[in-house]
Structure 1
Amino acid sequence: MPTVTTPDGDHAPTASASTEDRTADRSADRASGPAPALTGAQADAYLRRIGAEGVSVGWGTGEGLRELHLRHLRSVPFENLSLHLGEDVVLAEQALFDKVVGARRGGFCYELNGLFAALLRTLGYRVDLLEARCFREDGGLSIPYDHMVLRVVDEEGRSRLADVGFGDHSQLPLELGERGEQADPGGVFRIVEAPEGDLDVVRDGTPQYRVDPRPRALGDFEVGSWYQRTSPASHFTRSLVCSRLTEEGRVTLRGAKLIVTDCGGRRERWLSGEEEVLAAYRDLFGVELDRLPHDPAAGQDASPAG
């Protein structure tokens, strides 16, 4: 699997410069734009969380976005553990920061993309939250606000679609204006024009979700988040998942079933007992739990999508 090469850029910060200093400089340059969503100290902590602190690539650039996107997918798991631990999901930037960075947890799309947007704004990108509906197996579309994706504009004015909250998907941002095939380590993607100005994201010939390009606010996704957390029809209430991209492939824990995909293929095995499952959360995902979340699919050998 290819890795991103990070060239030295003219705008790359020195290792000694704090994100707070760089944020202040950008705010002065872009006085008419929105205020940074995170403090410099929070941004520094977030960069440490995803292993991007001190990386010699210019934030605000397209290459910087690629680096952040890939590191985020490899560091922060896509997971729905809160739903099955009795924890609330709060769509507010401070609460998301406390969970993902402070507690070193993951989350689902609203949490991961919502907080990633805050980091990107702080680092100099223009970011819009976009609403998306996922395609069902029958070809129909899911409910509105079923998914959140990001439109990210770099300092050169190029727009890309970023998504660190869809699990197994593109590893790098997609060029939003490109209508041809886009090769990615996760597959071959296309962005296809759909009715009413919407855009379909297609992976290896299969439509994944339809994006409404109108900007939204974080609070607009509350209804979708509530549905995912409470509806019996939501796949999040019917399953337990924790999944993370690795340099070799992907590691996924569905209840007590561990799925590892790498160059050697796909391997599955059942973990035995609470201690082994808790150790897997800790060692494979960096998630420290004092008890196991409830597994609604316990006893079922459901086919995972890890």
Structure 2
Amino acid sequence: MDAYLRRIGAPGRPEHPNAEALRDLQLRHLRSVPFENLSIHLREEIVLAEKHLLDKIVSAGRGGFCYELNGAFAVLLRGLGFRVGHLQARVYGDDGRLGIPYDHMALLVETEDGAGRWLADVGFGDHAHHPLAFDLREDQPDPAGTFRIVPAREHRRGHGQDGDLVVLRDGRPRYLLEPRPREPADFRAGAWWHSTSPESHFTRSLICSRLGEDGRITLSGRRLATTRGGERYEETLPDDEAVLRAYRDHFGIRLDRLPPDPREEGDGPGRTAGPSAGG
């Protein structure tokens, strides 16, 4: 737990597992541990066992996608005294269609201060910076926008069963959430599908992104996007060495080869870095 807290820049263990501590831990996690799918393209196995998650995120300084990030965050929270459950969700695409069952993992967290239940999520990329009050059905302002959790039966799209919830951001549906807690093993099929199916956006794109002080920092293949002073800047990195430096300097990820970008024609296995890369 202490090594994990150092990984996310926390000064130490919180005195109490309360709502304030949860809010601080989620924000630190988003700013320190990147949302990334590099393992899929480096042909590294996706394993959701606790030890493997901690080895990857804490010891190896890597990130992951939702199952890995929220899976590891759940281990940290439990170790600090929070009560944590795993929730399954289906993500709305840009066309309004839902993804597969177990498309996404989110966390239901209870704190010791009686502040209610919280929807914590460090694995959805550009999403809420702070935990959302799970039982509140009103607007919840957040630096990333205005969020609202509504019963699925009241949402205009009409998806879901009785008791299901829709998480909205600025009025647009983000994901359909089933409130019944699940076991981490239940998400293995979803993780396998997303890491192997040609229909998964994770197999068709390369992404590494984290929350910065001014906004998100995102490396997608060779294209680096940063936000400074409220302005977004994009650049195409000139060569492999520059891409490896970007992984190291912006995300703390040290690679000896680049993951192949499926959008680039002729990409084969990950390329080996030059002798000066990753120094």
Q: TM-score, normalised by structure 1?
A: 0.82
Given that 1:59 and 1:65 are in contact with CA atoms closer than 8 Å, whether structure 2 keeps it comes out as no
Distance 1:139 1:248 in 2: 29
Distance 2:30 2:187 in 1: 22
**Is residue 2:99 matched to residue 1:142?**
yes
Instruction: Tell me which residue corresponds to 1:164.
Output: 122
Pairwise CA distance, 1:194 = 1.0
Instruction: Tell me which residue corresponds to 1:184.
Output: 142
Instruction: Tell me which residue corresponds to 2:74.
Output: 117
Instruction: Tell me which residue corresponds to 1:72.
Output: 29
- What is the 5 A alignment of 1:207-286? 207-286=173-252
Pairwise CA distance, 1:267 = 1.1
Distance 2:89 2:122 in 1: 14
- What is the 5 A alignment of 1:26-41? none
- Letter matched to residue 26 of structure 2: H
Given that 1:130 and 1:214 are in contact with CA atoms closer than 8 Å, whether structure 2 keeps it comes out as yes
Given that 2:2 and 2:12 are in contact with CA atoms closer than 8 Å, whether structure 1 keeps it comes out as no
Match of 2:132 among 174, 179, 186: 174
Deviations 1:250-285 (A, max 9, x none): 100000000112333211110011110000000000
Distance 1:282 1:222 in 2: 29
Q: 1:143 to 1:67 in 2, by over 3 A?
A: same
Residue 193 of structure 2 aligns to a residue whose secondary structure is: helix
Distance 2:167 2:3 in 1: 32
- Letter matched to residue 256 of structure 1: R
Pairwise CA distance, 1:246 = 0.6
- Letter matched to residue 49 of structure 1: R
**Is residue 2:60 matched to residue 1:103?**
yes
**Is residue 2:165 matched to residue 1:199?**
yes
Unaligned regions of 5+ residues in structure 1, if any? 1-42, 300-306
Residue 197 of structure 1 aligns to a residue whose secondary structure is: coil
Given that 2:62 and 2:253 are in contact with CA atoms closer than 8 Å, whether structure 1 keeps it comes out as yes
Deviations 1:29-53 (A, max 9, x none): xxxxxxxxxxxxxx00000000013
Instruction: Tell me which residue corresponds to 2:20.
Output: 63
Distance 2:59 2:11 in 1: 16
Given that 1:250 and 1:262 are in contact with CA atoms closer than 8 Å, whether structure 2 keeps it comes out as no
Distance 2:263 2:140 in 1: 36
Residue 89 of structure 1 aligns to a residue whose secondary structure is: coil
Instruction: Tell me which residue corresponds to 2:47.
Output: 90
Distance 1:53 1:291 in 2: 33
Unaligned regions of 5+ residues in structure 2, if any? 154-161, 266-279
Q: TM-score, normalised by structure 2?
A: 0.90
- Letter matched to residue 38 of structure 2: L
- Letter matched to residue 214 of structure 2: E
Q: How many residues align?
A: 256
Given that 1:44 and 1:53 are in contact with CA atoms closer than 8 Å, whether structure 2 keeps it comes out as no
RMSD, aligned α-carbons: 1.1
Given that 1:129 and 1:148 are in contact with CA atoms closer than 8 Å, whether structure 2 keeps it comes out as yes
Pairwise CA distance, 1:117 = 0.4
4+ residue segments displaced more than 6 Å: none
Q: 1:197 to 1:232 in 2, by over 3 A?
A: same
Distance 1:189 1:137 in 2: 18
Q: 1:180 to 1:262 in 2, by over 3 A?
A: farther
Residue 221 of structure 1 aligns to a residue whose secondary structure is: helix
Residue 90 of structure 1 aligns to a residue whose secondary structure is: coil
Given that 2:205 and 2:262 are in contact with CA atoms closer than 8 Å, whether structure 1 keeps it comes out as yes
